[in-house]
Structure 1
Amino acid sequence: MQRRQFLTSAAVAATLLAVAPSFAADTAQSVVEAYVAAWNAHDSAKAAGYFADDVTYYDASVGKPVAGKDAAKTGVIDNFLKAVPDAVWTMKGKPLVDGDRVSFEWEFSGTNTGAWGDGTAATGKKFSFTGASMFQVKDGKIATQSDYYDALGFYKQLGLM
């Protein structure tokens, strides 16, 4: 009887271990997709709610990471959504998922009708640019986000260069 219980327990444990990586990948992808949906709903509080408290947000065009949920909400999400209230962030194709890591190419588009956080006035110009983002999700929250895109092309579309 004890041997049967042991074998049953071992089989259940092996099944759970085999399913765990797949479940983690599904969870990471669903967190990132919900985060993108919150951006597209223009809900900065909801978007920031997907960040871990100690998130690191890295924008390659800026070159300096933003540390912490509140700083990322204020310095990135709020700043962008105030400057571009009609922003649309579109995933191009399916994301690449490897355990707790998610990456995808995207297109960002909208009209710059609000001032930027650095004081740059609105240009009133429409834009569309592409890039790629990489995320790491831990415990159901975004621990890191790194964005890479053609900032020069973006600034030219806005008439800032």
Structure 2
Amino acid sequence: MSNRDGDRSVALDYVAALGGTDPAEVAALVSDDFRNEHHAELGSGCVGRDEYARRLPGFFATFPNRRYEVIETAVGELVGDSRDGSEVVVRYRFGADVEGTRIDIPGVMWISVRDGLVTRRLDCWDSLTFYRQTGLDPA
């Protein structure tokens, strides 16, 4: 049986680090085989802590003054998964400055936590809202 409160704390620490100032702090919270998955059209996935750590500074630069406001969480175990750990769903609002415009976009992350580390993040947020708020051309 997993430690759901501890796993929720790991997931929330990860989300807080994404809104912080140190990409290395984010990378330290993920496993070596971390999977970063996106269901948003603008997102770009990758596999492995090293590749994720390489990409994080670009994410931080693209979205300065980031913040993640956690709206609610749910914690459970993946049915049929024999490994100890939890699945943490985090509903959030993402704010950042993009080319002089402040964005505010709702989203959901499904975060898998095993052995005190994030092993997978599936992120979904509304790309159309991003384009409407920034006025940028999706082409």
Q: TM-score, normalised by structure 1?
A: 0.73
Task: Using the TM superposition, give the Cα deviation of residue 156 of structure 1 relative to its aligned residue in structure 2, in angstroms.
Answer: 2.5
Aligned with 2:68 (options 89, 94, 105) = 89
Aligned to 2:127: 151
Q: Which residue of 1 aligns with 2:76?
A: 98
Q: CA RMSD in A?
A: 1.7
Structure 1: how far apart are the matches of 2:44 and 2:135? 24
The residue type equivalent to 1:65 in the other structure is G
CA–CA distance in structure 1, aligned partners of residues 54 and 131 of structure 2: 21
Identity over aligned residues, as a percent?
Answer: 26
Query: 2:50 & 2:122 partners in 1: Cα distance?
Result: 17
In structure 2, stretches of 5+ residues that fail to align are 78-85
Return the alpha-carbon distance in structure 2 between the equivalents of residues 64 and 108 of structure 1: 17
2: CA distance between counterparts of 1:49 and 1:67?
Answer: 15
Q: Which residue of 1 aligns with 2:36?
A: 57
Residue 71 of structure 1: which of 19, 31, 51 is its match?
51
Alpha-carbon distance in 1 for matches of 2:32, 2:74 = 25
Check conservation: 1:42, 1:85, Cα contact below 8 A: no
Counterpart in 2 of 1:30? Answer: 9
Aligned partners of 1:138, 1:49: CA distance in 2, in Å?
14
The structure with the largest alpha-carbon Rg is 1
Deviates more, 1:147-156 or 1:137-146: 147-156
Question: Relative CO higher for 1 or 2, CA cutoff 8 Å, sep ≥ 6?
Answer: 2
Report the TM-score, using the length of structure 2 for normalisation: 0.83
> Aligned partner of 2:32: which letter?
D
Change (3 A) 1:89 1:64: closer
Measure how far apart 1:40 and its partner are. 2.5
* Counterpart residue type for residue 103 of structure 2: F
Whole-angstrom CA distance in 2 between matches of 1:59 and 1:79: 16
